[in-house]
Amino acid sequence: MPTDPGIKGSVFEGLVADVNALVSSGRMSRADLEARLERVDLPYLDKKLGAACWYPIETYGRLLELLRYAEGGSRPDQYLRARGAGAAQRLIDGGLYSQMDVSVDTWGERVGKVMATLGPLMFNFGRWTSSIEEGDGLRLTAEDMGALPAVARIVIEGFIEVMAARALKSAVVVTSESLGSDSIRYTACRC
């Protein structure tokens, strides 16, 4: 496993495709794109990526920031949440997470376990744990996440909302908060 903080290629590929689509559609010039990214980011835009490989989390963050700037408009956080929601929906549509179909009584436990296992599949750093809140809440804690770009935290909120809503078959609101320099708490509540 690589020692530098990274994100799985299966996640990174879609982001790179969306950045490249900005240029190919004419919504952003290649020169503007290059001015907004760092030199180390550019090779990833022009090469074949592997879904099972790890890619630098710093590059992921800068590409995500670029898309937020280019496509987020006046509601950049909603754009980021929608990216996370779309990623979760693609997993569900692919049939990979049929275990999300659970009873309402066990939604928090099941969603928590799934999310705690997805974190390490997407990131090669951090530790994820889940717990049930009193009432209808779920808490996920991600520790040792200092390398996670701030924009990614919002994407993860959207991801968790869709996964939890799938289990509940009703709306869920997810919030997150920093627990210091390297920990994040996500809280999912039924609406």
Give the predicted TM-score (pTM) of the model.
0.87
Domain 81-190: which CATH class? Answer: alpha beta
- For 105-131, letters b (16+ CB in 10 Å) and e give eebbebbbebbbebbeebbbbbebebe
Taking only the tens place, the pLDDT of each residue in 52-109 is 999 999 999 999 999 999 999 999 999 999 999 998 888 778 765 555 444 445 555 6
pLDDT (0 to 100) of residue 137: 72
Sequence-distant (≥ 6) Cβ neighbours of residue 109 within 8 angstroms? 130, 132
Which phi and psi (to 5°) does residue 141 adopt?
-120, 130
What is the distance between the alpha carbons of residues 156 and 29, in angstroms, rounded to a whole number?
A: 29
Domain boundaries, the chain: 6-71, 81-190
What is the distance between the alpha carbons of residues 66 and 18, in angstroms, rounded to a whole number?
A: 10
What is the distance between the alpha carbons of residues 143 and 145, in angstroms, rounded to a whole number?
A: 5
Q: What's the whole-number mean pLDDT along residues 162-184?
A: 86
Q: What percent of the chain has pLDDT above 70?
A: 87
